[in-house]
Amino acid sequence: MAAISASMVKELRERTGLGMMECKKALVEADGDIDKAIDDLRKSSGMKAAKKAGRTAAEGIVAIKVADDNSYGVMVEVNSETDFVARDDGFLAFVNQVVEKAFSEKQTDAAALAASMEDTRQALVQKIGENINVRRVELIEAPLVGVYVHSNNRIAVLVALTAGNTEVAKDIAMHVAAVNPQVVKPEDMPEEVVAKEKEIFVAQARESGKPEEIIEKMISGRINKFLSESSLVNQPFVKDPEIKVGKLVKDAGGDVQSFVRFEVGEGIEKEEVDFAAEVAAQVGAVS
C-alpha cells in the first residue's frame, strides 16, 4: 500500500474542499491515487467536479497577433521563472519577437518556433539569469477571428466564426476567457469524458435508492445538463445572461467554428520548495 503523505492530503483537500480525515480515508482506499480518490469521493458524496490538477504555477505571459482583415491569428505562451521577469522590458520584447515570427510564418509547431529563436533566448537568459521557455503556439484561420487578451496578459483567446462582426467576435472571445467552456457544442465532447461523468452520476443516483427507471431519467437529465453547461454555444452570455452565446452569434449572421484558450502556466506543476528544510540540510552538510 502506498504511503499517504501530508502533502497528498493537503492537495486533495485543496482540490475537493473536503475535510482532512475524509480526504485521508479516500487516499487510503485509493492506494494513494489522487485522481481515483476524487472520482470515488464524487461517487459517494455527490461532490462537484474537483479543481483540475496542474495548478497555474509557471510565470510568463500570453500574446496574440491577428491579421488586419481578421482572417487569421496566432497566440503564443512564453514562460519565465518569476512574475518579476514576466514584466521585464527585455522579456516583453522577446515575446513580441516570438509572436511576430509565429504570425509572419503562420507557425503551428512550438518546438520549431522555439528553435528558430534559440540564440535570442539564450542571450536573454544570460542577461536576466532566469530560464525562458517558448511553450506553445496556436494558429486559427477562419472567415472571422475574434481575439481577447486579459489585462494581466495571463489569459488569451482566439475564436473562429463563420461570419459576424469584430465586436461580437471579441465578445465571444472574452466570454471564453471568463467562463472557460470545454467544447463548442455538446456533440463535440469526447466520449470518454461523457462516459466518466455518467459513471459518477450512476453511482450517485444508485445511492439514492430510487427505482431503476427513475435512475435512468436522472442520469439522462444530469448528462444533458453537464453537456449544456460545458458547451460554449449553450452557455448564457457573460455580459447578458438572458441570451445564449450560440444565439448571440447566430443573430450576428454566423456560427462558432472553434476556439483556443491559453492561461499562463496551466498544466505545469511548480515545485514547492521548503526553504527552512533546505537551509537546515545545507547547515547539516556544512557541519
**Residue 203, pLDDT score:** 80
pLDDT tens per residue, range 106-126: 999 999 999 999 999 988 988
- For residues 177 and 45, state if they share a domain: no
Report pLDDT for 239: 95
Residue 129 lies in a domain: yes
Q: Is residue 209 part of a domain?
A: no
> For residues 125 and 134, what is the distance between their CA atoms, to the nearest angstrom?
12
The residue assigned the cell 537551509 is 279
Residue at 203 is within a domain: no
* Nearest-angstrom CA–CA distance, 13 and 38: 10
Length of the chain: 287
Q: Residues 48, 89: one domain?
A: no
Tens of pLDDT, residue by residue over 160-210, are 999 999 999 999 999 999 999 999 999 999 999 888 888 888 787 777 777
On whether both 111 and 64 belong to a single domain, the answer is yes
Average pLDDT of the residues in 260-286 = 66
Domain range for 20 is: 1-53
**How many domains in the chain?**
2
Q: What is the pLDDT of residue 56?
A: 34
More confident call, 13 vs 253? 253
For residues 7 and 132, state if they share a domain: no
Which position has the higher pLDDT, 9 or 171? 171
- Cβ contact 181:157 at 8 Å: no
pTM greater than the 0.75 cutoff: no
Contacts of 83 (CB under 8 A, 6+ apart): 59
The beta-strand segments (E) located in the chain are: 59-66, 72-80, 133-141, 144-149, 155-161, 236-237, 240-244, 256-263
Task: Write the pLDDT tens digit of every residue in 56-82.
Answer: 337 999 999 999 999 999 999 999 988
Check which CATH number belongs to the domain holding 26 and give it: 1.10.8.10
- Predicted local confidence at residue 53, as pLDDT: 44
Locate all alpha helices (DSSP H) within 129-183, ordered by sequence. 166-179
- In this predicted model, what pLDDT tens digit does every residue of 18-52 receive, in sequence order? 878 888 999 999 999 988 888 888 787 656 556 54
Asked if 164 and 104 sit in the same domain, the reply is yes
Residue 229 located in a structural domain: no
